[in-house]
Amino acid sequence: MGSVLLAGLLLAGWRVLNGGYQYQGSLIDPPAPAADFTLRDQNGEIFRLSDQKGKVVLIFFGYTNCPDVCPITLTDFKRIKDELGDLAAEVRFVLITVDPERDTVERLRNYLPSYDPSFYGLTGERAQLERVWQSYGVYQAQLEDGSEAGYEVEHTARIYAIDTQGNWRLTYPFEMDRKAVIEDVRHLLKEN
């Protein structure tokens, strides 16, 4: 009886300290250390996930020739950033390509400013990217479609949230309510 009472008190104490907040994305519980990676950004600079500690990192795997999911998600990133206001300085918005053959540093540099020039677009050699995709469970496949582009890339359409300590905490499905994402990001920043 005493151990049940103690467990109940500990749970109640945790809820008080945690403010009773319940994340709205798919929670990774317990949090898992996010797989580190080193890729090139749209300016040719090195981007290491481990260098982003202290920031919340929102990662989306997509590509610049994407006709639908990627532009919608990047537009949502822009709205999330705008609605976060000053807190947005503590968040990194990252697109990691699933189409390294076409998404060169230059292509990403020309593409991202139409959404937000502060967003990171990451690319690298296919072998490097395959390790990152595998680490995050990302599906990616080229599909010949007969279009001018030559092919489309079918890919996972989730957003991955990495907390300020470098832990993979949440994922969000395509077109998740951005207000929910914003509230989760605010809470992740408070935990720091």
pLDDT recorded at residue 4 = 47
Q: Tokens 């202290």 — which residue?
A: 54
Sign of the dihedral through C-alpha 17, 21, 23, 27: positive
> Does residue 6 lie within any of the structural domains?
no
pLDDT recorded at residue 149 = 67
- The DSSP secondary-structure symbol of 123 reads B
> Does residue 165 lie within any of the structural domains?
yes
> Does residue 125 lie within any of the structural domains?
yes
Residue-wise pLDDT tens digits, 1-13: 555 444 444 444 4
Residue-wise pLDDT tens digits, 46-68: 999 999 999 999 999 999 999 99
Residue 178, domain extent: 23-191
**DSSP secondary structure string for all residues of 18-33:** HTT---SSEEEEEEEE
> Does residue 7 lie within any of the structural domains?
no
> Does residue 3 lie within any of the structural domains?
no
- Check which CATH number belongs to the domain holding 179 and give it: 3.40.30.10
Task: Find the range with the poorest average confidence among 4-13, 116-125, 130-139.
Answer: 4-13
Domain count, the chain: 1
> Does residue 14 lie within any of the structural domains?
no
Q: Tokens 């699933």 — which residue?
A: 98
Rounded mean pLDDT, 75-80: 98
> Does residue 68 lie within any of the structural domains?
yes
Give me the chain's average pLDDT, please. 90
pLDDT recorded at residue 150 = 80
> Does residue 73 lie within any of the structural domains?
yes
Query: Which among 166, 135, 174 is positioned nearest to 31, based on CA atoms?
Result: 166
